[in-house]
Amino acid sequence: MKVLVANLGSTSFKYQVLDMTDESCLAKGAVDRIGEASSHCRVAIGDWSDEQTMPVPDHGVAVEACLRQLTDPEHGCLKDPSEVSAIGFKAVHGGRVSGVQLVNDDVLDAMSEMNSAAPAHNPPYIAAMRTLAEKVAGIPLVAAFETGFHLTIPASRRTYAIPREWTDGWKIQKWGFHGASHRYIATRMSELLGKPDARVISCHLGGSSSLCAIQNGESMATTMGMTPQTGLPQNNRVGDFDPFALPIIMQHTGETLEQTLSRLANECGLLGLSGKSADIRDIEQAAAEGDADCQAALDVYVAEIRRHLGGMLVALGGADAICFTAGIGENGDAIRAAVCEGLSDLGIEIDTVKNAQPDTNALGEATIHSDSSRTSVWIVPTNEELIVARQCCQLLQDQNQ
């Protein structure tokens, strides 16, 4: 079974094709500048790569273009587009609909109901899914919702202190996101530790960041709440924020609620704190050169990670492992060191040499804890595409039984 896993933006279509007989990646590709007069279609299959420039008006045409590259007579990894058993999407927020679902009108309606909760994610996915349902009708579309992994969180940790009808009627609760990444870490760490019931804290740190407390391979707590705007400070999103500050901001700026929310979602986080960049690499460089605002941005980011890390240690009653993943988690040795600094009394110690120069295996995995640390500390690259492909296969198999 071959699955095409899609990662969509409003004007982009990135994908991987996985052969699920051995879970190998057959191809990676992308289509950029969708809707413009000249779009770029790129694909890499083994040692062969191809790039074409053509008009791509919508995501449906983008999929058709990538399928033509994938079925190239000389270099393609597919003989025919019909070899693709499903197109899987790392869908974000379906509210009343979660888990793994075949895309249909009800699923799309449920996602539309959550547009205001995930304004940067849901609208482009919905538009693309509707287009693809018409253009590639012979290939099942599967939505693997990010919220699905967190359905195991106890009610006491996902319920807001609000009237019950808001929770039950409008689904206002802590949903959690980055589900595919945290699910992969849960699975992989169980294998690496040889302990199915391992207590793991997954630190997905990147342009978008969240922590997840995992036990027995299941989510027990996470930092993001009702929307992906909450939890840790993001690259340009505010993270945790007191809603009663909104009237004061609006009073001083004269902006509407919609304008203020847009700024909280696009001009805050690391960008707002630093006043210079949303990229942690730029911020670290400026801080090293003496920029006080950039140093403050790093300090706030680390402090929030540590605050939530402490809560998860309590929720799990300790941890067997702490795992750093995603762009900052995998590459940010200074952030990792700052997060773990002074935690030896909690049994968490990193080796400064290992942290600065990890001895990685073929998958990019490494341990960075000291010999005296009671908790192991890991770097493990995530693989969200593999998780989505596995979920697609399971759904199709269940339906065929």
Sequence ranges of the domains in the chain: 2-144, 195-384
Residues of the chain with pLDDT under 70: 10
Residue 65 identity (one-letter amino acid): A
Any binding-site annotation on 64? no
Any binding-site annotation on 299? no
Any binding-site annotation on 327? yes
* Alpha-carbon gap, residue 161 to 330, rounded angstroms: 35
pLDDT at 10: 65
18 touches 5 (CB < 8 A): yes
* Alpha-carbon gap, residue 241 to 231, rounded angstroms: 9
Residue 52 identity (one-letter amino acid): Q
* Alpha-carbon gap, residue 200 to 312, rounded angstroms: 9
pLDDT at 131: 84
Any binding-site annotation on 331? yes
The pTM of the full predicted model, rounded to 2 decimals, is: 0.93
Task: Identify the architecture of domain 2-144 in CATH.
Answer: 2-Layer Sandwich (3.30)
Any binding-site annotation on 9? no
pLDDT at 323: 98
Sequence-distant (≥ 6) Cβ neighbours of residue 131 within 8 angstroms: 58, 59, 60
pLDDT at 39: 86
Cα 272 from chain centre: 21
Right CATH for 195-384 from 3.40.50.850, 3.30.1330.10, 3.30.420.40, 1.10.3720.10: 3.30.420.40
pLDDT at 67: 85
Burial code of 203-235, b = ≥16 C-beta within 10 A, e = fewer? bbbbbbbbbbbbbebebbbbbbbbbbbbbbbbb
Any binding-site annotation on 329? yes
Establish whether domains 2-144 and 195-384 are of one fold.
Answer: yes
Any binding-site annotation on 279? yes
Give the torsion through C-alpha atoms of 57, 62, 65, 70, to 10 deg. 170
332: its two tokens:
């940010």
